[in-house]
Amino acid sequence: MLDEIQRCPALLSWLQGLVDERRRMGDFVLTGSRQFELAHGLTQTLAGRVGRLELLLPLSAGELRQAGRLPASLEELLWRGGYPPLYDRPVEPTDWLPAYVATYVERDVRQWLEVRDLTLFQRFVRMCAARTGQPLNLTALAADCGVSATTARQ
């Protein structure tokens, strides 16, 4: 098992040779927390040699109910969301979510997209979040962020 394989893309070429040589399925399990980057690397290097599983989706209301952790109100469910860490330990969303955003969006996504201006990127992410549930209007989003529509699209 190789965890966070996207952090060492050189291993993918090595694994490709090993998988081709052995001609056996299931010798390796590759995991990664950056699904988009992992998928890109696997597609580029190990195409036709892998099967993909997407396992860690947020908890559904049914799963929370089955575990006896479904919040009493819809408002509380919407506030807490479905991230497992918000249910398996005593932590408030206002404490946990900023750390999650900092790790996933500001570090992982920023690194993958090669973002140069963190302040502008943070503003863009906040503007996107504020538009949840609305049709995407890249022109308006770009104008509100002070970037071109092409930049917003990228």
Q: Where are the domains of the chain?
A: 5-46, 58-89, 92-154
Question: Where on the phi/psi map is residue 26: left (φ > 0), alpha (ψ -120 to 50), or beta?
Answer: left
Confidence of residue 48 (pLDDT cuts 50, 70, 90): low
Report d(CA 154, CA 113) in Å as an integer. Answer: 9
Burial letters for 97-129: b for 16+ Cβ neighbours within 10 Å, e otherwise? beeebeeebbebbbeeeeeeeeeebbebbeeee
What pTM, to 2 d.p., does this model score? 0.56
CA–CA separation, 72 and 69 (whole Å):
9
SS3 30: strand
pLDDT score recorded for residue 119: 85
105: pLDDT strictly greater than 70 = yes
Q: pLDDT tens across 61-89, in order?
A: 999 999 999 999 999 999 999 999 899 88
Contacts of residue 39, defined as CB under 8 A and 6 or more positions apart, other chains included, come to 52
The pLDDT of residue 26: 78
